[in-house]
């Protein structure tokens, strides 16, 4: 859900017009549109590069892992999921909030990895590597836009079973 939709829904639930502060949030969101599109486009066009570099970095840090076992199916699955996380972060940048992460489901991915016996600590480290590569690619200013979303994924995967609390304090469970 975009920031605009979120502001409108919140105001509508409370049967009021958006506040001046909410209107300024929407204005800032609109003014930052070109930047958010540029960042999302950069992530999309460099996804393969980011995955490859992050994988190499991850395998140096965690050399004994299923994705580095020589089993090409496991390597491909791991790299496919890394690309999926980059895509989720790009969606968040475009939306201007973390809603795509909660709606599309980092918690579901966490549960899937656990059921497959894939150590979550490996995924946390893999996402850290992707984040580092994305930060290096984007530069400081643009990296500041994506870092919170990568941190959200890392936090979700770091604390299995912990409910994620939305901005309004509601739990997703």
Residue-wise pLDDT for 105-119, tens only, equals 676 777 788 787 778
> Where in 84-157 does DSSP place strands (E)?
none
Instruction: Kindly state the average pLDDT of the residues 7-34.
Output: 94
Of residues 75, 29, 26, the one with CA closest to residue 54: 75
Q: Give the 3-state secondary structure of residue 156.
A: helix
Which pTM does this prediction carry?
0.82
Summarised one tens digit per residue, pLDDT across range 154-163 is 998 887 554 4
Q: Which two tokens stand for residue 98?
A: 């973390």
Summarised one tens digit per residue, pLDDT across range 21-55 is 999 999 999 999 999 999 999 999 999 999 999 99
Beta pairing partners, 171: 165
């Amino acid at each position: 859900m975009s920031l605009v939709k979120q502001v409108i829904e919140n105001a509508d639930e409370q049967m009021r017009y958006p506040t001046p502060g909410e209107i300024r949030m929407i204005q800032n969101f609109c003014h930052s549109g070109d930047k958010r599109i540029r960042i999302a486009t950069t992530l999309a066009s460099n996804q393969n590069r980011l995955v490859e570099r992050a994988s190499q970095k991850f395998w140096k840090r965690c050399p004994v892992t299923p994705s580095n076992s020589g089993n090409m199916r496991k390597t491909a699955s791991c790299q496919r999921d890394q690309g999926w996380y980059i895509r989720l972060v790009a969606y968040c940048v475009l939306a201007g909030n973390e809603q795509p992460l909660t709606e599309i489901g980092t918690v579901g991915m966490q549960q899937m990895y656990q059921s497959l016996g894939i150590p979550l600590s490996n995924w946390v480290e893999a996402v850290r590597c992707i984040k580092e590569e994305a930060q290096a690619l984007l530069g400081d200013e643009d990296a500041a836009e994506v870092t919170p979303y990568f941190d959200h994924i890392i936090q979700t995967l770091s604390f299995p079973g912990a409910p994620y609390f939305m901005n309004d304090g509601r739990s997703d469970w």
